[in-house]
Amino acid sequence: MHPLLLVPLLFLPRALSQLTPALNEPPDNTLYLGAWLDTSTDTPTSFNARLGQSAPWFQFAQNIPLDPLDPDTGEGGIVNASQVWETGTDAGVYVTVYPAQGFGAITDQDVRAPNYVLAGRGVFLRFAPEMNGNWDVWGIQPTAFKAAWTQMHSIVKLSCPSCALVWSPNASPGYPYSITPDMVSNATDRAALDTDGDGAYTSADDAYAPYYPGDALVDWTGVSYYYKGVYPNSYNVAPGQGTVEAALTGYAQPGLEQEEAVQYTPFYQTYCLTKPCMFSESGAAWHWNSTSPPATYVPPTHTEVEQAWWRDGLTNTSLLTAYPRLKLLMIFEWQKVETDGGISTLRDFRITNDSQVLEAFKQDLQGVQGRYVWATEGLTQQVPAQVPMPMPVPARATPYRMPVGTSASLFWN
């Protein structure tokens, strides 16, 4: 075990046990396991059946302003999480909101659009995630992001004070993700991102601070974090020990991915001690059309890749104990084509699809079964009572994130 693993315990606030629980926060020494499913081919009920457990959270996404609903394909419109109610559990809904036309396209009316909040159900709302990256239209704009967040917070909290707002950048390992100052058009933003003032963006710059809207405007914090192998991420490599922890400490150990250890911006110590935190989306990639690795390299099996990932995180008792403020682990149950360095591969992040991978995961999950809080079963499949309220109508549709085949209103209308 790397010595950094134990550091967080030494710096926990003295009154940590006396902190007021945040919205949707599970009891001390427990956490949630949630899933983001490709609902064009999967359902929460099927996921629960495969896993043999009832997940307490399911994630969906939508754009703001709303895309027109295509009645034939079900794409666009407002996310449909009626499948969550069909599980017959009290599972909550996690909605990721994409400002797909940029922050300038969001009006107060978009945020105030008439909606319904489902009474008796938990809600997470993750707005403009991975804003510290340059792969989305809302990225690397800290000034506009914080202004939009403040606008969204003021409106949502008036109409839905029980909605938990999740601030969720991309994890720092790899920062600044090839971003250079000339890519940032706004001079104020350009200077803000150069946190050490050396005129360049490097791993020494703070990957998070320029985007943080402040404790008063955030309920939970989180990061996106994926393992995809060795750049250009085109063949299968099992993640090494400490890979998952690096998202929390920022400490990336040497290995196949890099020759020397690098210290990126720590997340846990700054953003998790007074707020519960999460992996907002995460997983390890299995490349189905893997390119040829080095001649002397012996590739791992599908199970070995995924098992190395979850044993380093989801079922790692040492990590879960050392980071008690880590309260939700959201797995990305999708496969999608991605391209790095001009090479495209079909990457499968699922751990409940392949029977051998699934059985290995279920077996390892037994060792930490008591740490996870699962959804309560035996509820009726009817949608809970609806309370009309003005609520934001969030998110973004992309070929690889937006659940396809959704049409009916969930808790927005």
| Residue pLDDT tens, the chain, 413 long | 444 444 444 445 545 556 789 999 999 999 999 999 999 999 999 999 999 999 999 999 988 898 888 888 777 777 777 899 899 999 999 999 999 999 999 988 777 653 534 445 689 999 999 999 999 999 999 999 999 999 999 998 887 888 899 999 999 999 999 999 999 999 999 999 999 999 999 999 999 999 999 999 999 999 999 999 998 999 999 999 999 999 999 999 887 667 789 999 999 999 999 999 999 999 999 999 988 788 888 999 999 999 999 999 999 999 999 999 999 999 999 999 999 999 999 999 999 999 999 999 999 999 999 999 999 988 755 554 443 333 333 333 332 232 222 222 222 22
Two structure tokens written together for 381: 């499949």
**3-state secondary structure (DSSP) of residue 389:** strand
The pLDDT value given to residue 79: 76
What's the pTM?
Answer: 0.88
Among the options 25, 75, 130, 257, which is catalytic?
130
- The Cβ-side half-sphere exposure at 78, using a 13 Å CA radius, reads 16
Two structure tokens written together for 144: 């506009």
The pLDDT value given to residue 302: 98
What residue ranges do the domains of the chain occupy? 3-12+34-390
**At 340, which helix (H) or strand (E)?**
strand 335-340
Sheet hosting strand 335-340, strand order edge to edge = 286-287, 343-348, 335-340
260 assigned to active site: no
**3-state secondary structure (DSSP) of residue 248:** helix
- Which pairs from 361-364 meet CB under 8 Å and 24+ separation? 361/306, 361/307, 361/310, 361/314, 361/315, 362/51, 362/52, 364/307, 364/310, 364/311, 364/315
Among the options 25, 75, 281, 333, which is catalytic?
281
Q: How many residues does the chain have?
A: 413
The pLDDT value given to residue 381: 54
The pLDDT value given to residue 402: 28
Residue found by looking up tokens 């999708």 in the block: 334
The pLDDT value given to residue 140: 98
**DSSP letters for 102-140:** -GGG--HHHHH-EEEEETT--EEEEESTTTTSSSSTTTT
Contacting residues for 284 by C-beta, under 8 A, at least 6 apart:
226, 227, 228, 239, 305, 306, 308, 309, 349
Rounded CA gap, 233 and 315, in Å? 25
CA–chain centroid gap for 46, Å, is 21
38, 51, 324, 340 from 366: Cα distances, Å:
25, 11, 19, 36
The pLDDT value given to residue 382: 52
The pLDDT value given to residue 208: 98
333 assigned to active site: no
Is CATH 3.20.20.80 what the domain over 3-12+34-390 is classified as, yes or no?
yes
C-alpha angle 398/61/408, rounded to 5°? Answer: 110
Q: Are 252 and 334 in contact (CB under 8 A)?
A: no
Q: Which amino acid is at 329?
A: L
Q: Are 50 and 72 in contact (CB under 8 A)?
A: no
The pLDDT value given to residue 129: 98
